[in-house]
Structure 1
Amino acid sequence: MNDPSVAPKGTSFNLEKFVDYASGSVVSKTLLKRDLGNITLFSFDKGQGLSEHTAPFDAVVFILDGQAKITIGGEPQNVKTGEMIVMPANISHALKANEPFKMLLTMIRSKE
């Protein structure tokens, strides 16, 4: 039985279409969760975001659709469809949707 919230294994699929927008909300789907890291797909409605926080590991964000303001260490930057940014471990970061946007978040746990 296939769980629709988990990435299909052994077959291709469209990431951008795998998560829908929800009015006034943030939607997340964990595609892969392992001891060494996670891959999570998100959609954010305009104005939604994640408040400032830190993580103990580097995180890679790839924008699949739309545009977001991503602030790292107090420095905001606009990241748009097709762009990627690495959020360094232990540095504060936050995200806010300038317009509805979707992103793929990959976090790799390491001792570095």
Structure 2
Amino acid sequence: MESNSFLNDLSFTEDKVRISVILESSFSKEIRIAFKKGQVMKEHKTPFPIVVHLLEGAIEFGVEGDKHQLKKGDILTLEGNVPHDLLAKEESVVRLTLSKLDTADRVKEVAENSK
């Protein structure tokens, strides 16, 4: 058994969203994305389905041009290869569940290219 908390050692950076691997299991990777208000992750796609769970804050989640307002507690799934983007409407913490076949480095690269 492994355990951790999405709220342990939580910190934000001014220049880009902060990506942290919180837990890895035999079937998934649990990623924390910490946004300061106004930070974005530009439009991108994932090769595999994902689950996005907003733990704190408010996020505008764009899917193929449609904007969806997420509030604390909201959760959604998205199939692979669907263009999407995120904009923090306030300081926010997102739980991202990735397939074991996907990589956290890919998510970090999206964050780097969103500055």
Are 1:82 and 2:73 an aligned pair? yes
Cα drift, residue 30 of structure 1: 0.6
**SS of corresponding position for 1:76:** strand
Following superposition of structure 1 onto structure 2, how do residues 1-112 of structure 1 map, counting pairs within 5 Å?
A: 9-10=2-3, 13-33=4-24, 36-108=27-99
TM-score, with length taken from structure 1: 0.77
Q: Larger radius of gyration, structure 1 or 2? A: 1
Cα distance in 1 between the residues matched to 2:94 and 2:70: 10
Q: Percent identity?
A: 24
Paired letter, 1:69: E
Deviations 1:55-95 (A, max 9, x none): 11111111110000001121110101111011221110000
RMSD of equivalent CA atoms: 2.3
Q: How many residues align?
A: 101
Unaligned 5+ segments in structure 1 are 1-7
Cα drift, residue 52 of structure 1: 0.3
Partners of 2:59 and 2:90 within 8 A in 1: yes
Partners of 1:62 and 1:85 within 8 A in 2: yes
Cα distance in 2 between the residues matched to 1:49 and 1:33: 25
Paired letter, 1:87: L
Paired letter, 1:66: G
TM-score, with length taken from structure 2: 0.75
Paired letter, 1:95: L
